[in-house]
Chain A
Amino acid sequence: MKAPALVLLLLSACSPKTAALRAVVPLLDRGSTAFDAEPDPQLAREALPAQLKLLESLLESEPGNPRLRRLAAQGFGGYAFLFLEDSDPGRARQMYRRGLEHGLALLGRRQALRKLREAELSALESALRGLRPNDAPDLFWTAYNWGGWINLAKDSPEAVAELPKAVALMRRVQELSPGYYFGGPDLFLGAYYASRPRLLGGDLGKAKAHFDSAVAATGGRFLMAKLLYARYYAVAAQDSELFKRLNAEVEETPGVMPEARLADAVAKMKAKKLMEQIDELF
């Protein structure tokens, strides 16, 4: 028996499940802020997977919900970067990849940004020109996961071939909203220019300018910026004095931004580990 389409539509629009879901999205949004403000990395590390699974189950019911998608892209990327990249790069690679799928689904709501992985770079670049500042978060978290995945998949030509696109996305974020996520676009581009050999377009001068600009974006308060400055730029420039100074600043300066408490706490842990590797890095 076929129910009239309109009735079905009304039913689904008013189903208790959907209504409950709509109510929970703002809560999850706030939950994400609560994660950013969590001072105890271990608590965050243990709680995040459950949150990510919850997001994915909600997305099963409502795959087109952009707020859920955005939280998932941000959540998988953040989890991979903060907690997995150093200890378990294989899993970090998979989490970035999942975050990337969420990000691509998010961008794919616009016709011009569908099938980005197969699109030609020039087509992508012209589609990006049509975007506005409020598109910056979607672009940022997609590029964040994309770059994170490629960085851990350098043995995959397929992944490496997609790097120009991730960079194009992030360059557009830099134009649209340069200070987004504590100077995130600068941190991404700084790491990009520092980690590539000069022969492959690496450029220490550009890397330094991006890192300086990222540090300045929060007046030096976002400690992760200095950590990345040390890890990518100081190592590539083989400047061990700068490396030591930046790591010491991260370890000794108290984190003062409530919305960056978790990132600051993790930056301190990473700085300590990085200092233990100094003999291998220089």
Chain B
Amino acid sequence: MSYFSAALLCLLSAVPSKAETVKFATLAPEGSTWMKVVADLDKQLQRKSSGALKFKFYPGGVSGDEKDVVRKMRMGQLHAAGVTGVGLGSIAPELRVLDAPFLFKDSSEVDYILKRFGGEFASALEAKGYVLLGWAEVGWVHLFTRAQVSGPTDLRSVKMWVWEGDPIAEAAFEALGVRPIPLSIADVMTSLETGLVDGVYGSPMAVVALQWFTKTKHVHAAPLANAMGAVLLTKKLYDSLPPDQGKLLLELSRPAMERLTKLSREENRQAMEALQKQGLKLARPSAQALKEYEEAGRQARRALAGKLYSAELLDRVEKALEYFRTSRHGKNTKD
């Protein structure tokens, strides 16, 4: 090989032959905060990789629901996706400990647990063939009912919906003595209209988007759980990238997803206000009701141990939270 042709080869290899396109699906619709953040991430990615790496988006559920999306990722038709508890649970069930009923009291607790256990969860996903690009929290899950409900006793007379095949919500309702009606999400609106159910649950923004609030009158201030979500990339695609590109993708994704979580929290807060502007009444539980919720949460979380996550993992998470609460409490009293 002549000196000249070797130099030419060097030059050629420095120019990306073809951009790697990461096919990215999400249920979030075009124009939503979610899509704005990931579109922004895409722009950064293209710029910093000099055009070698880019996303192609499939927003608004055009790739199907979460189960379809996970299946398509396994088959290599999609490379990345935003998923919630259902999708995460179908990949690594132990991650659903993050969705456990009445586990967290506020967002700083969620952040703390993700910081302490994030590495462990990312490894669990990796073992199943996925790389965690970042957490993308859905938000606090609240109850929405037609009748006024001030605690578990009232709740027992509500015709409560439960997402079919959602073990977390089933366990929570069982511990509260509520016998819910299992339905797919697509059937909830019609069932609210016909009166088959008159109570539902979801994050404020989800309930706004799903329009369920138009058939309920009360929203409950005490959340049932905090719903987690994440953006995943198939390990297969990640491993096929040159190492510097993989590193770049991770470096850019993590802060973008942190920003998304911050924006989602703000959006849910605004959604709660919008719901009240549309006429929903905010129901605050009594101290007694809060105690009962707490006890029901403890029972439900135990009941789920061994099914989704191990009792050992739950113990560690609960202990870490206790530690966080006492140390924070200590700090607060000193201040």
Residues of the A chain whose Cβ atoms lie less than 8 Å from the Cβ of B115: none
Chain A residue at smallest Cβ distance from B263: A155
Residues of the B chain whose Cβ atoms lie less than 8 Å from the Cβ of A119: 279
Which of the 9-residue segments B209-217, B235-243, B312-320 touches chain A? Answer: B209-217
Q: Judging by beta carbons under 8 Å apart, are A238 and B62 in contact?
A: yes
Chain A residue at smallest Cβ distance from B189: A201
Which of the 9-residue segments B31-39, B101-109, B298-306 touches chain A? Answer: B31-39
In chain A, residues 108-128, which have Cβ atoms closer than 8 Å to a Cβ of chain B?
A: 118-122
Residues of the A chain whose Cβ atoms lie less than 8 Å from the Cβ of B189: 201
Which of the 9-residue segments A17-25, A129-137, A158-166 touches chain B? Answer: A158-166
Residues of the B chain whose Cβ atoms lie less than 8 Å from the Cβ of A64: none
| Cβ of A277 under 8 Å from chain B | no
| Cβ of B267 under 8 Å from chain A | yes
Q: Judging by beta carbons under 8 Å apart, are A157 and B61 in contact?
A: no
| Cβ of B27 under 8 Å from chain A | yes
Which of the 9-residue segments B169-177, B269-277, B325-333 touches chain A? Answer: B269-277
| Cβ of B19 under 8 Å from chain A | no
Q: Judging by beta carbons under 8 Å apart, are B274 and A154 in contact?
A: no
B264 to chain A, nearest CB (A): 11
| Cα separation A236 to B61 with both chains bound (whole Å) | 9
Q: Judging by beta carbons under 8 Å apart, are A158 and B273 in contact?
A: yes
A residues within 8 Å of B by Cβ? Answer: 118-122, 151-152, 154-158, 160-164, 195-202, 235-236, 238, 280
Chain B residue at smallest Cβ distance from A197: B61
* For the complex of A and B, 9 pairs with smallest distance between CB atoms: A197-B61, A157-B271, A154-B31, A161-B274, A120-B279, A155-B33, A157-B270, A158-B274, A157-B274
Contact of A155 among B36, B60, B186, B277 (CB under 8 A): B36
In chain B, residues 11-53, which have Cβ atoms closer than 8 Å to a Cβ of chain A?
A: 27, 29-33, 36
Residues of the A chain whose Cβ atoms lie less than 8 Å from the Cβ of B27: 197, 199
Q: A155-B31, A157-B204, A157-B267 are in contact. Are A201 and B210 (CB under 8 A)?
A: yes
The number of chain B residues touching the other chain, given as a range, is 20 to 34
| Cα separation A155 to B279 with both chains bound (whole Å) | 21
B66 to chain A, nearest CB (A): 9
In chain B, residues 169-225, which have Cβ atoms closer than 8 Å to a Cβ of chain A?
A: 185-186, 189, 204-205, 208-211, 213-214
| Cβ of B259 under 8 Å from chain A | no
The interface centre, meaning the residue of A122, A161, A163 with most chain B CB atoms within 10 A of its CB, is A161
Q: A155-B267, A158-B270 are in contact. Are A164 and B214 (CB under 8 A)?
A: yes
Residues of the A chain whose Cβ atoms lie less than 8 Å from the Cβ of B213: 161
Q: Judging by beta carbons under 8 Å apart, are B31 and A200 in contact?
A: no
| Cα separation A202 to B185 with both chains bound (whole Å) | 12
Residues of the B chain whose Cβ atoms lie less than 8 Å from the Cβ of A202: 60-61
| Cα separation A195 to B205 with both chains bound (whole Å) | 18
Q: A155-B36, A199-B186 are in contact. Are A161 and B277 (CB under 8 A)?
A: yes
Contact of B208 among A157, A196, A198, A199 (CB under 8 A): A157
B169 to chain A, nearest CB (A): 17
| Cβ of B116 under 8 Å from chain A | no
| Cβ of B65 under 8 Å from chain A | yes
| Cα separation A121 to B193 with both chains bound (whole Å) | 13
**Given A155-B267, A160-B271, A201-B189, 10 new contacts (CB under 8 A):** A118-B278, A155-B33, A157-B208, A157-B270, A160-B208, A161-B213, A195-B30, A197-B27, A197-B62, A199-B210
Q: Judging by beta carbons under 8 Å apart, are A156 and B270 in contact?
A: yes
| Cβ of B56 under 8 Å from chain A | yes
Selected A-B contacts with CB under 8 Å, 5 pairs: A154-B32, A200-B210, A201-B189, A202-B61, A235-B62
In chain B, residues 231-278, which have Cβ atoms closer than 8 Å to a Cβ of chain A?
A: 267-268, 270-271, 273-275, 277-278
B82 to chain A, nearest CB (A): 12
Residues of the A chain whose Cβ atoms lie less than 8 Å from the Cβ of B278: 118, 120-121, 161-162
Residues of the B chain whose Cβ atoms lie less than 8 Å from the Cβ of A162: 278
Chain A residue at smallest Cβ distance from B63: A238
Chain B residue at smallest Cβ distance from A238: B62
Chain A residue at smallest Cβ distance from B35: A154
Q: Judging by beta carbons under 8 Å apart, are B31 and A151 in contact?
A: yes
Residues of the B chain whose Cβ atoms lie less than 8 Å from the Cβ of A154: 29-33
Q: A121-B214, A161-B271 are in contact. Are A200 and B56 (CB under 8 A)?
A: no
